[in-house]
């Protein structure tokens, strides 16, 4: 079956300082929604094995995890706002630490990326403005159009900030090394940043200073609660995933990079615009990374359409301090060892990314030198 063979990295196995941690290498497992939660936002027991298998990464960032019941929008995605959820996450963290790894939990709020079939009864979506996203979501009843959200008022915005603070505190209690605030890919914070989804005329709309206020205030609150050196932020400059657009997209990432550089964060995590959600775009897009690097002085993690050569180049050039791989980690639980030795990479079948069970999640084999790596698809970048 087709496999992807990469050169042995020159820079990826150097240690990296991230906040209060020294990572054993510069390889990050990127957050990836995998839709394996059970009951009401409770992570499946499978997460314990899934993340432990991939603990060779210098840092794991978990799949996006809801900060409250009302933050959910997708089907079978986990939360971190109850002790029952924490109990499963705690076991996953302990296994990762036992394997010598480090792990942050990515915290998110879906905002208007929501369908009632995916959540408990009586819940409604919220967003900066009552504008539905032009997207269809996977539900137990097939693909469905996203719902029209309610506009968040000042009190609601404050409540969401408090939910992020509460989830961050619970993450520390569960043993996570830190949290990543999901401000990318068209979810709630990103909806506030873009004028296609934010038509407000109050303190959270209009200028980029106002549109970024919600994210920056929440980030500050989380940093004050658990320490800035335990907090990362993920952004997707120039991204349009989940139906967000802005007439001045450069203004968004320039402002965020400038404002976040003085926060003392563990890192800023940038998704290059060549990737949209789980897909690689074919048309070339201008790369905002050089300008972001000039504005952001802290640790910078970069994800999106990378292979070993391009990852080494980003580190050589100073454009990245660490690099995140997503899809490669799905089919290769032992990715770091495969890269270290130049062993071929298996490529997972996209059709089973979201199967809901162990298939396509925890059933991928480690590489054995006596046999070729198995694969169910053609090679891709990640």
Domains observed in the chain:
16-352 (3.20.20.70)
Q: What is the band of 171 on the pLDDT scale with cuts at 50, 70, 90? A: very high
Say whether pLDDT at 330 is over 70: yes
pLDDT at 376 (0 to 100): 39
**pLDDT category, 349, cuts 50, 70, 90?**
confident
d(CA 262, CA 126): 30
pLDDT band at 370; cut points 50, 70, 90: low
- Chain position carrying tokens 């403005």: 129
Written as six digits, the tokens of 150 are 């309610």
Q: What is the mean pLDDT of residues 326-354?
A: 93
| Cβ proximity of 61 and 324 under 8 Å | yes
Q: Is residue 177 predicted with pLDDT exceeding 80?
A: yes
From 51, 187, 267, 296, active-site residue = 187
C-alpha span between 242 and 328 (Å, rounded): 23
pLDDT in tens, 102-139: 999 999 999 999 999 999 899 999 999 999 999 999 99
Average pLDDT, the chain: 93
Per-residue pLDDT at 281? 61
Model confidence pLDDT, tens digit, residues 27-73: 999 999 999 998 879 999 999 999 999 999 999 999 999 999 999 99
Beta-strand relationship, 27-29 and 322-325? parallel
Q: What is the pLDDT of residue 378?
A: 33
pLDDT, position 278? 59
Distance CA 222, CA 264 (A): 12
CB atoms closer than 10 angstroms to residue 207: 11
* 354 in active site: no
In the predicted structure, residue 236 carries a pLDDT above the cut 80: yes
76 neighbors 114 (Cβ within 8 angstroms): no
Contact 318, 292 (CB under 8 A): no
Query: What integer pLDDT is reported at residue 3 of this predicted model?
Result: 62
């Amino acid at each position: 079956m087709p496999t992807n063979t990469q050169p042995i990295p020159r820079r990826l196995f150097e240690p990296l300082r991230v906040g209060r941690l020294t990572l054993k290498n510069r390889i990050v497992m990127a957050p990836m929604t995998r839709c394996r939660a059970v009951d009401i936002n409770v992570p499946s027991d499978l997460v314990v094995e899934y993340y432990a298998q991939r603990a060779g990464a210098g840092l794991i960032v978990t799949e996006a995890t809801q900060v409250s019941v009302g933050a959910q929008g997708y089907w079978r995605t986990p939360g971190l706002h109850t002790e029952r959820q924490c109990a499963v996450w705690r076991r996953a963290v302990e296994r990762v630490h036992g394997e010598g790894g480090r792990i942050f939990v990515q915290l998110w709020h879906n905002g208007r990326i929501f369908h009632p079939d995916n959540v408990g009864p009586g819940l409604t979506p919220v967003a900066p403005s009552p504008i539905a996203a032009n997207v269809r979501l996977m539900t137990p009843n097939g693909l469905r159009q996203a719902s029209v959200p309610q506009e968040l008022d000042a009190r609601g915005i404050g409540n969401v900030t408090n939910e992020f603070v509460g989830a961050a505190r619970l993450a520390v209690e569960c043993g996570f090394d830190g949290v990543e605030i999901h401000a990318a890919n068209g979810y709630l914070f990103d909806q506030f940043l873009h004028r296609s989804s934010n038509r407000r005329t109050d303190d959270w709309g209009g200028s980029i200073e106002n549109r970024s206020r919600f994210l920056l205030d929440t980030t500050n609150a989380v940093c004050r609660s658990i320490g800035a050196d335990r907090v990362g932020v993920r952004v997707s400059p120039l991204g349009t995933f989940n139906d967000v657009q802005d007439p001045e997209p450069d203004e968004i990432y320039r402002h965020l990079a400038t404002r976040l550089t003085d926060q003392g964060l563990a890192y800023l995590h940038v998704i290059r615009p060549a990737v949209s959600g789980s897909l690689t775009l074919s048309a070339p897009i201008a790369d905002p990374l050089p300008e972001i690097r000039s504005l952001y002085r802290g640790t910078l993690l970069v994800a999106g359409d990378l292979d070993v050569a391009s990852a080494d180049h980003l580190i050589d050039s100073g454009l990245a301090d660490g690099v995140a791989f997503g899809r490669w980690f799905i089919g290769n639980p032992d990715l770091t060892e495969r890269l270290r030795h130049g062993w071929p990479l298996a490529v997972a079948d996209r059709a089973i990314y979201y199967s809901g069970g162990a298939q396509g999640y925890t059933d991928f084999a480690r590489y054995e030198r006596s046999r070729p790596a198995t694969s169910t698809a053609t090679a891709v970048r990640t």
